[in-house]
Structure 1
């Protein structure tokens, strides 16, 4: 959903795919979890008569950034305290395969220390772009410790604030495909398999959404489910069984192709070939539709079009794609309203039915009005769906439906309700 941060009323992240489906036909998730930034603090004035330290620190960090992007061990060592040399040289090894196009530190938290200080801690934003992927820098927040030595200030520590970089967690292996780049901490063959799957997903997405999007994917594959949660800066238990999420790169403008698909290695490993296809194509759809997705785009529509795209051509029947909904209908519980955004909150009862009903509603739109009709409706919702003052979500839906497809919300509801009843 254009990588905006959906949240439930109690502040919990909204899941984009239930874990239950993962072990069947393949579930998936799209969340927008923008990385936290440290609040900038005004620099205090230097002590009377003392030269300000801030320019010295900025120069040190600029030289460090150049050493990292150039993989220059000598330059890195020149700006590093002796005790920190082993860790910093190991850090260089971990990111050696990451194809940086640009990398720079920006101080965001700095206070001029007293003249006698021999150690300070600062915060900075690490802006970086990856070659061929990022049109705008992505941002990570870092905490750095510096120490005063006989010949000047040197770096002693560089660690994450909030979400870590992938290279903070292990040695990154990079595989570039025709349409993607995969950065992984897993074995090389697993990273390559994910790249091959992403390359197949892009043409599948193009077939529905056209080539107006960038047509390229960036995927990250941590080594463990715990690391998956750490990259997202969330509690591990909240994402057990979630195969993948799409996150907006912090620091990039809203509607730019700077999304990262982060894959849960343990959940993904347990999927069938079909499940993996559905997961990656679903997430690729979220990347492709980012520019058309806004805060007012309903979750059922955002998730429904992603599932619709992902299941096209799989040969799965409606009952296979929507088993929980079919069971409900067989028991006489035929839905009468599209799911509200809150229905997609992690742990919500009947979340499975919410996803399945979303897929079914978009499937009906595509059947009745063609793929172009579904795509046009989605794009129109982004352009014209911002609610007017006092306008309800139902009224917005009715307005956008009539404007694009010439059908009202009541008639649309009858269509998908009838389709749901046939699942029995």
Structure 2
């Protein structure tokens, strides 16, 4: 089973702004209603919220435990037809204490017009956008020392156990990567795999063997919204305590390294580093942590090259996916073993700092480790056989 994945620039939870706001009397009036609606959400004012329309009548209750710092709408498109209208808008919200900038979610609205003006009749995710967690039911929130866990349909005791694991993961990344990152994580726990897919705006089947994913924009600024770690309750739930800790530490590594990750970073490095961080303080041996790769090596089918990005695709070939993760992990483990953890961090940053894929790994290997890529692959192949061949 693969531990998790970093989804870069995921539109399911966040999106990019920039659309010109529509103009005219109708647009001004609709924006005013959306402003009133947003203010009612932030202030938890039920009567004021209901006065703006019938859409999502239980929203305030479902959001009641979420520590919102802000909630606004920006109207981006409006089309009127008589007493009805359809609109798109950017919902911008910020979780207080975690988001340094608002999360942006694309919404599709329908509105009606009566004697008192415009009112909202439906507020749904726009096409290809994901749901928000509170659209799946009342959210239970558990705050840890370094974490916020938000869940739907899960007992508070279960969410509290996840917060404890997350609180152990953050200091672990401080010890391996350093402290130049937010050092807080937000964990979302949907009720089922299907609901996980709805959050991601993608078919759930593609995540069946993935215990968790992390959303966020690679290379984003310090002011970016906090990454969201989304657990697959089915795959994550069957793991033992050590496995759960490894997964959350893996995902926390993606959060910590996000600003040093770019289009130049191959997945074998980003996922391999996250696995290395996840296993770093566990007692798992290579044979235990890399069973698929070990089976291939002992069957005379040791890999000849580092995995390509396409090997990390959620294609349904779980063995191939596992071998890709395990290969990247052993590459990063070899660097830490032979050159030290500081060199591994420097290599990771050097690759991501190039900004484009061509020559990024080769250049970083020369500058940080003093070798070319061919020699590195040769050493990695020998390391894999030495660790997994017996």
> Residues 273-352 of structure 1: matches in 2 within 5 Å?
273-347=241-315, 348=317, 350-352=320-322
Give the conservation status (yes or no) of the 8 Å contact 2:102–2:225: no
Displacement of 1:218: 0.7
- Counterpart for residue 345 of structure 2: 375
Structure 1 unaligned runs (5+)? Answer: 1-19, 22-26, 47-51
> Residues 101-140 of structure 1: matches in 2 within 5 Å?
101-111=69-79, 113=80, 117-140=82-105
Residue 218 to residue 402, structure 1, CA distance change in 2 (3 Å): same
Displacement of 1:253: 5.6
Displacement of 1:145: 1.8
Displacement of 1:130: 0.7
- Counterpart for residue 12 of structure 1: none
Query: Are positions 1:71 and 2:44 aligned together?
Result: yes
Tell me the distance in 2 between the aligned counterparts of 1:351 and 1:144: 39
- Counterpart for residue 30 of structure 1: 6
Give the conservation status (yes or no) of the 8 Å contact 2:21–2:75: no
Displacement of 1:249: 6.9
Tell me the distance in 2 between the aligned counterparts of 1:292 and 1:319: 30
Residue 318 to residue 249, structure 1, CA distance change in 2 (3 Å): closer
Give the conservation status (yes or no) of the 8 Å contact 2:246–2:278: yes
Tell me the distance in 2 between the aligned counterparts of 1:385 and 1:105: 33
- Counterpart for residue 14 of structure 1: none
Give the conservation status (yes or no) of the 8 Å contact 1:324–1:352: yes
SS in 2 for 1:129: strand
Displacement of 1:275: 1.0
- Counterpart for residue 208 of structure 1: 176
Displacement of 1:417: 1.2
Displacement of 1:241: 2.6
- Counterpart for residue 5 of structure 1: none
TM-superposition CA deviations, 1:200-245 (whole Å, max 9, x none): 1001111100100110001111111110110001112111131110
SS in 1 for 2:130: coil
Tell me the distance in 2 between the aligned counterparts of 1:71 and 1:256: 26
**Aligned pair partner of 1:413 in 373, 377, 385:** 377
Which runs of 4 or more aligned residues in structure 1 lie more than 6 Å from their structure 2 counterparts after TM superposition? none
Tell me the distance in 2 between the aligned counterparts of 1:406 and 1:73: 64
- Counterpart for residue 53 of structure 1: 26
Give the conservation status (yes or no) of the 8 Å contact 1:221–1:265: yes
The more displaced of 145-154 and 229-238 is 145-154
Tell me the distance in 2 between the aligned counterparts of 1:306 and 1:357: 12
Tell me the distance in 2 between the aligned counterparts of 1:183 and 1:246: 14
Residue 406 to residue 38, structure 1, CA distance change in 2 (3 Å): closer
SS in 2 for 1:127: strand
Give the conservation status (yes or no) of the 8 Å contact 2:140–2:156: yes
SS in 2 for 1:141: strand
Query: Are positions 1:272 and 2:240 aligned together?
Result: yes
Tell me the distance in 2 between the aligned counterparts of 1:60 and 1:246: 34
Displacement of 1:199: 0.6
Greater share of residues in strand: 2
- Counterpart for residue 142 of structure 1: 107
The more displaced of 347-356 and 128-137 is 347-356
Tell me the distance in 1 between the aligned counterparts of 2:356 and 2:122: 46
SS in 2 for 1:139: strand
Aligned length: 379
Displacement of 1:283: 0.3
- Counterpart for residue 397 of structure 1: 361
SS in 2 for 1:156: strand
SS in 1 for 2:246: helix
- Counterpart for residue 165 of structure 1: 132
Tell me the distance in 1 between the aligned counterparts of 2:302 and 2:144: 44
TM-superposition CA deviations, 1:291-346 (whole Å, max 9, x none): 00001101100011100010012111111111111111112222221111111111
Q: What is the root-mean-square deviation in Å for CA atoms of aligned residues? A: 2.1
TM-superposition CA deviations, 1:20-76 (whole Å, max 9, x none): 35xxxxx222223223679947747x6xxxxx2111111110010000011001211
Structure 2 unaligned runs (5+)? Answer: none
- Counterpart for residue 191 of structure 2: 223
Tell me the distance in 1 between the aligned counterparts of 2:161 and 2:308: 36
SS in 2 for 1:316: coil
Tell me the distance in 1 between the aligned counterparts of 2:285 and 2:239: 19
- Counterpart for residue 15 of structure 1: none
Give the conservation status (yes or no) of the 8 Å contact 1:255–1:291: no
